[in-house]
Amino acid sequence: MTSPAPTPDPTRRVTITVPAWFAALRDPGIQVLFVLGLFALAAFVALALGWRGAARTPYVPLQLPWLVSAGFAGLGVLGFTLGAWSIHVGRRQDAANRLAAEQLVRDAAELADDLRSGRRTLPHRTPRHR
C-alpha cells in the first residue's frame, strides 16, 4: 500500500540561483537592446540578400529591383535601429545622471539638516600662516 503524497506547505519559499548574465535579461533596458540588435541583424540579412540577388542577375536592369527592395529596406531598418539604439542609450545615461544628482541633493539636504540641528559640526580649520 502506498502512502498519500504530502501536501506542499504554501508558506515555504524556494530560492533559485541563476547566473548574473541571465538575471540581467530581466532588465527592460537590456531587452530593448537585444531586440534592437535583432533588428540590426535583420537589416544586414536584407542587405546580404539584396546583394546576392543582384549579383546572381546578369542583366543590369533586373538588378535594380533587388537593390531597391532589399538594399533600401535594409538601409532603412539599419538607420532606424541605430537611431533608436542611440536614443535609448542616451536616455539611460541621462536617467543615471539624474539619479546621481538627486542623491547628491538628498545628501546635501541631510547634511544641512544635521548642521542646523547640531547633530553634526563642520571641522575647524586652523588659519594658514603666510
Contact 36, 81 (CB under 8 A): yes
- 38 part of a folded domain: yes
How confident is the model at residue 22, as a pLDDT? 84
Q: What is the pLDDT of residue 1?
A: 58
Question: In the Cβ-directed half-sphere of 35, how many Cα atoms lie within 13 Å?
Answer: 9
Report residue 33 CA to chain centroid gap.
5
Task: Report if residue 96 sits inside a domain.
Answer: yes
Residue 123 lies in a domain: no
Query: Is the four-CA dihedral 32, 37, 38, 42 of positive or negative sign?
Result: positive
* Opening angle at CA 38, ends 85 and 19, nearest 5: 90
pLDDT, residue 97, reads 97
Domain of 43, in residue numbers: 25-117
Q: Is residue 124 part of a domain?
A: no
pTM greater than 0.75 (yes/no): no
- Domain-located, residue 94: yes
Whether 54 and 66 have beta carbons less than 8 Å apart is answered as: yes
C-alpha dist (Å) from residue 94 to 22, 91, 98, 102, 106? 25, 5, 6, 12, 18
Counting the structural domains of the chain, the total is 1
Q: Classify residue 20: in a domain, yes or no.
A: no
Alpha-carbon distances of 33 from 36, 38, 39, 94, 100, rounded to whole Å: 5, 9, 10, 16, 23
**In which residue ranges of the chain is pLDDT below 70?**
1, 129-130
> In the structure grid, which three cell numbers stand for residue 72, read together?
533600401
